[in-house]
Amino acid sequence: MIIDEEVFAVIIAIAIVTSALGVSLSVLPRRGEPFEAIGLLNEKGLIGDYPSVLPANSTLRLNIYVYNHDGKAELFMVKIFIVERGILPSNTTWLNTTPVDTLLVVLSDQGNSTLPFEARLSVPPGQYAFVAELWRLEPTNSSFIYTGRWVHLYFNVTAPLG
Amino acid sequence: MRVNILLVALAAFFLASALLVVHPHALSNEALGIMSDVLGKIQLLESRKVNVSDYVRMLDEAAREYQVCARSDGQSCDEELIGKLQALSEELDKAIAGSESTYYVYVARKVAVGAALASIPIATYVLLPWLISYAWLRTKAKWVVLPRGGRKNDNR
């Protein structure tokens, strides 16, 4: 043989490893852990610089970011609440009050969307919490299921201007 | 006195919550049912490796238009949504009917790629020595073989 047998064995070993890696990456299904995400963005659609003090009767403007990593298309509902400071959902329990608004969005796998939201704050001065919960439509039983994902923002409402 | 203040504060809070100027809306059971049906069909197509981005976009547009409608008048929004979803559902039924062949093509392509990749070590084992020998011969084809010492013993 023109090439050394040991060199040939190394080349064959590299070919076997490359082949196994190629088969596992291209043929076998890749199943990462499915998850969905919700994020809170400011009026300009950026992280940070959130409103903390707002006069009564002014408009609260925010953006909600939703990301789908479930491995399939999903229909999400974002339930928005404006509640007294301290009343928050958890990963397993949602707020048992009527939302002030709901936003619907359909996302393909690994898709994301930024949903604008605004509400006029006709509330007396005080401390409030903006809460957005992420719900997912379950097609098998035609109902929305709480994903356990939520975001919140505390803000103070002061006396109206003028 | 404190209890009174607390009660007034609570009453003010619940009143204020009711006064927030946003219009919440809820899908009717019929609309929710068709929406679930459409989403289920999209997910079925997706599992058969059909590109569903257009259907996702159409369902998303229908949902967004419904929200815009519900915020403005909220009367005939459900009917409009149901109409759009039914049309989309019919399109999806047609796509599902033709999706099996797409799935078989996908599986065949996967098998072909897998077989090609799996044959790399065998091909290397069989072809590499031949290729090296061939290359060796090609590169050395014009070489002139001389006896040790070159032309020293050439008597011409």
Q: Which residue of A75, A112, A121, A136 to mutate against B (max B Cβ within 10 Å)? A: A75
Judged by CB atoms closer than 8 Å, whether chains meet at B37 and A139 is answered as yes
Rounded Cα distance, B34 and B80, in Å: 12
Put simply, the chain A residues between 6 and 45 with a CB less than 8 A from any chain B CB are 8, 11-12, 15-16, 18-19, 22-23, 26-27
pLDDT digits (tens, 9 = 90+) for A106-145: 999 999 999 999 988 888 899 999 999 999 999 999 999 9
Quote the distance between the C-alpha of residue B95 and its chain's center.
16
Domain A35-158 belongs to what architecture?
A: Sandwich (2.60)
- pLDDT in single tens digits along all 156 residues of chain B: 555 665 555 454 444 444 343 444 577 888 899 999 999 999 999 999 899 999 999 999 999 999 888 888 666 888 889 999 999 999 999 999 989 888 899 899 999 999 999 999 999 999 999 998 899 889 988 888 888 876 655 555
The amino acid that residue A20 corresponds to is A
Predicted pLDDT of residue B70: 83
pLDDT digits (tens, 9 = 90+) for A60-107: 999 999 999 999 999 999 999 999 998 899 999 999 999 999 999 999
Predicted pLDDT of residue A160: 82
Put simply, the chain A residues between 62 and 101 with a CB less than 8 A from any chain B CB are 72-75, 80, 82-84, 97-101
Q: Which residue of B13, B36, B68, B126 to mutate against A (max A Cβ within 10 Å)? A: B36
Judged by CB atoms closer than 8 Å, whether chains meet at B36 and A138 is answered as yes
Q: Which residue of B56, B110, B119 to mutate against A (max A Cβ within 10 Å)? A: B56
